[in-house]
Structure 1
Amino acid sequence: MPENKSERIPALADQCVQCGLCLPACPTYALDGNEAESPRGRIAIAAALAKGLAPVSDGLREPLDHCLGCLNCERVCPAQVRFGELLVETRAMLGPAPGRPRVLLAVAKRPALLRWTKLPGLRRWCERLAHGLPERSRWRAALALAALKPSTQPQPMAGRARHASALPRVALFPGCVGSVDDAPAQQAAVTLLEAAGHPVTRLPAFCCGALDAHGGDTQAAARAARRVRESWRTSGASILVTVTPGCLGQLRSALPGVAVEDPYALLAARADQLHFRPVPQRVALHVPCTQQNVARSAEALQKLLARVPELEVMPLPARCCGAAGSHMLEFPDRAAGLRAPTLEAIGALAPKALLSSNIGCRLHLAAGLVEQAMAVPTLHPLVLLARQLLPGHPS
């Protein structure tokens, strides 16, 4: 391991004062009640491994692999420990986990392969095959996601003239899974941003590198970061946006000094330009951890939803659903346990739809709803907003 890494991890770990205020905020500690599955437990393990005070073993590595990277601990930490940075550095030091589902992740990172899995006949085949596999197996979890019905495209906005705008040009980063499973949300983002006055450029679809960075594959993450930088340089834009909050941290790491956001803050700043048709129904709102802790855009989203007449928005309790990037494929049993309270809350609300901004969370929750025979459609909040957008208001 390079010397600077062996020094950096203990330096990050030494910021922790072991106060324990992170424990109530940690979903894996709530699941296991085990100190090793808490932020301060993981910090102690990372420091010991980096200093060579303990050999790498399955028993020490497992709590680090179980971490969701939700960053709830960072929000409550009085010492401002940069836990997300420490986790990525430690996983880079250890390298990819031996049991990592490389084939499944390789498919997830390639939009062309993902589109092939969405063919109607193949989707039905995935559904039948999943039922024949052991409960909570990785392949069963992956096939259950592939068998989900694809989202529909938002209704196109009509009747609005395009005018030259003084607002900054925005580049939309499609990503990998998002470019396929969240294509309606990306079209909705373009519709809404242009209605708000921002010209939009679409970048090519590829993986930002988040799955690799959080899995300890530093070389693959570095290659993805170079591709992000090359794509950005030719975009002609001032702001980079993604409709997938899970990509934000990695995109910001690849593009230091660039404004990288999800669309909500930009849209909320121009909310007086956006007018919506009524939606007389109740919807449940799930705020993903990355939207809460990285994008910090939950308030802007709720401001936009409040502009839709007659829409009753019921926020779900703030807790990690267990999707956490590749976690739902690597540890499907744990992911299902983390998801259960959110499904219970959805059932209690009996909403007409479930809104969630992160594609991984939405797929994970949708699979759980299907498993429990709850007929609650899931969609990105931007899709709802674009569907209800009234055309013709002057910019």
Structure 2
Amino acid sequence: MALEQPPKRIAELADQCVQCGLCLPACPTYALDRSEAESPRGRIAIAAALARGAAEPTAELRAHLDHCLGCLGCQRACPAEVRYDELLIETRALLGPAPQRPRRLLGLLQRPGLLRGLRRVGTMLGAAHWLGALARRLPTGSPWRVALQMLPGTPPAALPQGDAAGAELALFPGCVASVEDAEAQQAALTLLRAAGYRVHVLPAFCCGAMDLHDGEAAAAEQAAERVRQAWRASGATRLLSVTPGCLGTLRHALSGVPVLDPLSLLAERAERLRFRPLPLRVALHLPCTQANVARSEAAMLQLLRRVPQLDVVSLPRPPSCCGAAGSHLLQFPGRAAQLREATLRPLATLAPARLLSSNIGCRLHLAAGDEAAQWTTQHPLSLLAQQLENSP
């Protein structure tokens, strides 16, 4: 069936591409398949054809678009400055959600109150002892199997508590991150207060990132409006998220508002932070969104290097997306596992005591890999807060 009234915006964005191919070395899916259709310029050509009515959205064509991780390594490498993020969002909105999108599972993950309640019940029932066996009974390609295998055995930390009214910064907890990464959010508050900042914590809810990138345009706009309402009520001047995967969506919802990674602000006042020595080797995984959206890699390394005796080694760079990519690991678990294996392979040589990653989806995905089983995973902010000498 042909698309109705294909938007001109997609064709205009596609026309910026000069088909030079400099994006290919930065594309994880091209490295995986060595297929032009699985490359950025191949997807741009498909999007342009769909937008102009020159092609119909067959299952085969849309599969290449659905496979895209949205890592934006191509956008950073592009000499023509193609706005690939906008093109991908617009095209997926045009096509609508993929048939294999696990709506019920994602609906659960987007409701932090329900997710936290279920995690508490699971802890009381000793789920850590039987959840793995339950997951293995599910079909190999089941998104529920993937989700259960990633679930941490430890109960979630308490939600962080912010400062009173008048705070200059607002922290966005998110959905899954507010449950599974609450420790990192509390660590951010501890470090920011030590650096002299006042932080207000917004209510926990989904920013709409998975909906926006999966083509659920109406649901994504509803989430964006909720973000705008919470932001206006906060009275803050800058918004923060410890989850790089939320930053792009928050910026999309709040045009003109500074939306930042806390690491960037902490680096600006790094001289106020003193850390205890930690004689340990840690491997640092850089999420795509931290490298290509937050652009906070230098700030993170600056802060980690202030911890005496800490040996920080970085995992290799692109094309090195771990395969988590929002809901990608649930929709395409086989492809996600291949990308994870390639990301974790260097750990055998690096032999770290811990694996650091700032994005909760990446960290849960990496921790579920066989190669990562012997290493503790942690948010860099959690490590920094644990070693902080001058806690407020």
TM-score range, shorter chain: over 0.9
Aligned to 1:27: 28
1:388 and 1:79, CA in 2 relative to 1: closer, same or farther beyond 3 A? same
Aligned to 1:139: 144
Aligned to 1:235: 234
Quick one: distance in 2 between partners of 1:124 and 1:382?
Answer: 29
Quick one: distance in 1 between partners of 2:340 and 2:57?
Answer: 30
| Displacement of 1:373 | 6.9
1:334 and 1:174, CA in 2 relative to 1: closer, same or farther beyond 3 A? same
Aligned to 1:128: 133
Aligned to 1:195: 194
Check conservation: 2:194, 2:273, Cα contact below 8 A. yes
Report whether the alignment pairs 1:110 with 2:111.
Answer: yes
Check conservation: 1:148, 1:367, Cα contact below 8 A. no
| Displacement of 1:291 | 0.2
Q: How does 1:302-313 map to 2 (within 5 A)?
A: 302-313=301-312
Q: Give the secondary-structure state (helix, strand or coil) at the position aligned to 2:356.
A: strand
Report whether the alignment pairs 1:51 with 2:52.
Answer: yes
Q: Give the secondary-structure state (helix, strand or coil) at the position aligned to 1:354.
A: strand
Quick one: distance in 2 between partners of 1:176 and 1:111?
Answer: 5
Aligned to 1:213: 212
| Displacement of 1:362 | 0.2
| Displacement of 1:151 | 6.5
Deviations 1:138-196 (A, max 9, x none): 22111101254356689x9xxxxx9x9x9x71100000000000000000000011110
Quick one: distance in 1 between partners of 2:85 and 2:185?
Answer: 27
Q: Give the secondary-structure state (helix, strand or coil) at the position aligned to 1:207.
A: coil
Q: Give the secondary-structure state (helix, strand or coil) at the position aligned to 2:284.
A: strand
The amino acid across from 2:230 in the alignment is S
1:275 and 1:147, CA in 2 relative to 1: closer, same or farther beyond 3 A? closer
Check conservation: 2:101, 2:331, Cα contact below 8 A. yes
Quick one: distance in 2 between partners of 1:307 and 1:338?
Answer: 32
| Displacement of 1:375 | 1.3
1:389 and 1:48, CA in 2 relative to 1: closer, same or farther beyond 3 A? same
Q: Give the secondary-structure state (helix, strand or coil) at the position aligned to 1:283.
A: strand
Aligned to 1:320: 321
Unaligned residue ranges in structure 2 (runs of 5+): none
The amino acid across from 1:307 in the alignment is R
Q: How does 1:159-170 map to 2 (within 5 A)?
A: 169-170=168-169
Quick one: distance in 2 between partners of 1:328 and 1:230?
Answer: 31
Check conservation: 1:151, 1:379, Cα contact below 8 A. no
Q: Give the secondary-structure state (helix, strand or coil) at the position aligned to 1:175.
A: coil
Report whether the alignment pairs 1:14 with 2:15.
Answer: yes
Check conservation: 1:347, 1:374, Cα contact below 8 A. no
Paired residue total: 381
Check conservation: 2:156, 2:179, Cα contact below 8 A. no
Aligned to 2:177: 178
Check conservation: 1:195, 1:274, Cα contact below 8 A. yes
Unaligned residue ranges in structure 1 (runs of 5+): 157-161
Quick one: distance in 2 between partners of 1:373 and 1:29?
Answer: 25
Aligned-pair identity in percent equals: 62
1:220 and 1:226, CA in 2 relative to 1: closer, same or farther beyond 3 A? same
The amino acid across from 1:134 in the alignment is P
Q: Which moved more, 1:112-121 or 1:67-76?
A: 112-121
Q: Give the secondary-structure state (helix, strand or coil) at the position aligned to 1:130.
A: helix
Quick one: distance in 2 between partners of 1:386 and 1:293?
Answer: 25
Quick one: distance in 2 between partners of 1:273 and 1:218?
Answer: 43
Deviations 1:237-283 (A, max 9, x none): 11100000000001001111111001011000000000000000100
Q: Which moved more, 1:184-193 or 1:138-147?
A: 138-147
Quick one: distance in 2 between partners of 1:109 and 1:152?
Answer: 18
Quick one: distance in 2 between partners of 1:68 and 1:183?
Answer: 25
Quick one: distance in 1 between partners of 2:355 and 2:372?
Answer: 15
Check conservation: 2:116, 2:156, Cα contact below 8 A. no
Q: How does 1:337-348 map to 2 (within 5 A)?
A: 337-348=338-349
| Displacement of 1:386 | 0.4
Quick one: distance in 1 between partners of 2:372 and 2:315?
Answer: 19
Quick one: distance in 2 between partners of 1:256 and 1:372?
Answer: 41
1:40 and 1:373, CA in 2 relative to 1: closer, same or farther beyond 3 A? closer
Check conservation: 1:124, 1:147, Cα contact below 8 A. no
Quick one: distance in 2 between partners of 1:258 and 1:36?
Answer: 36
Check conservation: 2:279, 2:309, Cα contact below 8 A. yes
Could you tell me the TM-score, scaled by structure 1's length?
Answer: 0.92
| Displacement of 1:136 | 4.1
| Displacement of 1:222 | 0.4
| Alpha-carbon RMSD | 2.0
Could you tell me the TM-score, scaled by structure 2's length?
Answer: 0.93
1:254 and 1:2, CA in 2 relative to 1: closer, same or farther beyond 3 A? farther
The amino acid across from 1:207 in the alignment is C
Quick one: distance in 2 between partners of 1:391 and 1:292?
Answer: 29
Q: How does 1:374-385 map to 2 (within 5 A)?
A: 374-385=373-384
Check conservation: 2:194, 2:391, Cα contact below 8 A. no
